[in-house]
Amino acid sequence: MSIKDNLSTIKSSLPSHVTLVAVSKTKPIADLMEAYHAGQRIFGENKIQEMTEKWEQMPKDIQWHMIGHVQSNKVKYMIPYVSLIHGVDSLKLLKEINRLAAKWKRTVDCLLQIHIAEEDTKFGLDGQELNEILQSEELKTFENIRIVGLMGMATFTENNEQIKREFLHLKSIFDQHNQLKTAKCQLTTLSMGMSGDYQLAIECGSTMVRIGSSIFGSR
């Protein structure tokens, strides 16, 4: 199957309220262009340097999503163009994104990453830490960011019951906060689900899926 065929198969299976992020990390420009020509306009990368190189070479109507862990000292490279940062997991990082976004006179949309997996290798906040960020006075002073939702990654396992439990846990945290509507913060996006588990994620309430290998082939 070609990238184009993979994309159209996946897209036809997604409900209309679910956004597809094509995860193109490690893949060459030619593959991204194939997806672009098939109509894909949202791409996800997990390394800032690789994303920036691709942004420079690709058409400018693409929305670039940073889906990986973000180091504060690298934020500056993506601020001019990034459209959504999925993996924000501290107030300190929000502060740095806000500072640089102000410098570029932009507002940058962010998702807060919640730790739902069993493995402690995966980054993210717990419910308590999320509350602390959402209620912090400092957040109100950040004029150049918007928190638009939550992101999470389930444990890498064949056990669908476990994955489902983790997704539902994230969904319940999302539901606790999605009534919240301030200028800075309106949780409308729930980013969960990858190639192996996106159907399950959608059943559990995902509104944004991040799919790589099912589109571009294995890495």
Ligand X SMILES: *Cc1c(COP(=O)(O)O)cnc(C)c1O
In the complex, which residues of this chain contact ligand X (CB under 6 A)? 23, 25, 46, 67-68, 153, 194-196, 210-214
Beta-bridge partners for 85: 66, 110
Nearest distance from C-beta of residue 16 to ligand X, angstroms: 21
Number of Cβ atoms within 10 Å of the Cβ of 79: 20
70 touches 85 (CB < 8 A): yes
Which residues are registered as beta bridge partners of 185? 147
Q: How far is the CB of 137 from ligand X (least distance, A)?
A: 30
Question: How many other CB atoms are found less than 10 A from the CB of residue 48?
Answer: 20
Beta carbon of residue 214, minimum distance to ligand X (angstroms, whole number): 6
Q: Looking at beta carbons only, is 63 or 131 nearer to ligand X?
A: 63
Beta carbon nearer to ligand X, 77 or 123: 123
Residue 62 or 139: the one with the smaller Cβ distance to ligand X is 62
Q: CB 27 → ligand X: shortest distance, Å?
A: 10
* Residue at 189: amino acid letter: T
Position closest to ligand X via CB: 212
Query: 193, 202, 151, 209: which is closest to 20 by C-alpha?
Result: 209
Task: Tell me the closest approach of the beta carbon of residue 114 to ligand X, in angstroms.
Answer: 13
Q: How far apart are CA 210 and CA 152, in angstroms?
A: 11
Residue 139 or 173 having the CB closest to ligand X: 173
